[in-house]
Amino acid sequence: MQIVDLEEQPAGIREQAARMLVDEFVEPRGWPAIEKAREEVVAVIRDGFARAAVEDDLVLGWIGGLPEYHGRVWELHPLVVRSDRRRRGIGRALVASFEQEAARRGALTATLGTDDDSAMTSLAHTRLYDDLPRHITGLRDLGRSHPFLFYRKLGYVVTGVMPDANGRGKPDIYMSKALGEE
Ligand SMILES: CC(C)(COP(=O)(O)OP(=O)(O)OC[C@H]1O[C@@H](n2cnc3c(N)ncnc32)[C@H](O)[C@@H]1OP(=O)(O)O)[C@@H](O)C(=O)NCCC(=O)NCCS
């Protein structure tokens, strides 16, 4: 496996990357149609950068980075690994590549939003406004392995939520990590 700059890859590789946004997300949900997914690939490459894990001509996964706050913060978006290649370290390698490139471009903070649009965590269908710090502290996976567990393994910390981001009771979970600290 190699990690390459998606921008420099032939159209067929970029098309596979777009297709993965439609096919490889189940929970949380992915992109509804290939046209929207193609637009996403173009936008991420235009506004930030994208890296793909490839094996010969097959895309195993890819990750994007987008600048915020004048480039002091970079958002990890999107990230996807082929379902038949998960749990083998590819996601971890892609995140490491994202963090390295974001830091090179001046990021102090890596951030991301990981949606809970299908009641996978204790934050779903909960009155978050009542006592938000308590809900964040008590964040639990309800048994279907929400990706926040993956990001937590990689050192990301929950830094907030957006209530009802995906509809009533379906929040986005914000996670961040400091880059370049000693
Ligand atoms: C989330 C995703 C990118 C993880 O990719 P991956 O290649 O399977 O991850 P890795 O194998 O590098 O996992 C790194 C560690 O996290 C753990 N991990 C990975 N996914 C996990 C999950 N869903 N729940 C709990 N732990 C998980 C792995 O077991 C591994 O732990 P270890 O280092 O102790 O062995 C992948 O499952 C995916 O593409 N999911 C669908 C799209 C998606 O949800 N993207 C994120 C949206 S915000």
The pLDDT tens digits for 131-173 are: 999 999 999 999 999 999 999 999 999 999 999 999 999 999 9
Q: Is 6 a residue whose pLDDT tops 70?
A: yes
Q: Are residues 2 and 28 in the same domain?
A: yes
Q: Are residues 155 and 70 in the same domain?
A: no
Confidence category of residue 182, pLDDT binned at 50, 70, 90: low
Q: Whose CA is nearest to atom 28 of ligand 1?
A: 87
Q: Are residues 57 and 126 in the same domain?
A: no
Beta carbons within 10 angstroms of residue 127's beta carbon: 10
CB 24 within 8 A of CB 80: yes
Q: Are residues 131 and 173 in the same domain?
A: yes
Instruction: Please give the residue range of the domain that contains residue 50.
Output: 1-107
Confidence category of residue 174, pLDDT binned at 50, 70, 90: very high
Note the pLDDT of residue 28: 72
Q: Are residues 124 and 150 in the same domain?
A: yes
What is the CA(128)–ligand 1 centre distance, in A? 26
Q: What is the CATH number of the domain that holds 2?
A: 3.40.630.30
Q: Which two tokens stand for residue 123?
A: 């934050």
What is the CA(88)–ligand 1 centre distance, in A? 9
What is the CA(90)–ligand 1 centre distance, in A? 8
Q: Are residues 129 and 52 in the same domain?
A: no
Number of domains in the chain: 2
Q: Are residues 27 and 92 in the same domain?
A: yes
The pLDDT tens digits for 90-103 are: 999 999 999 999 99
Note the pTM of the prediction, 2 decimals: 0.97
Name the 3-class secondary structure at 38. helix
Q: Are residues 86 and 27 in the same domain?
A: yes
Q: Are residues 65 and 122 in the same domain?
A: no
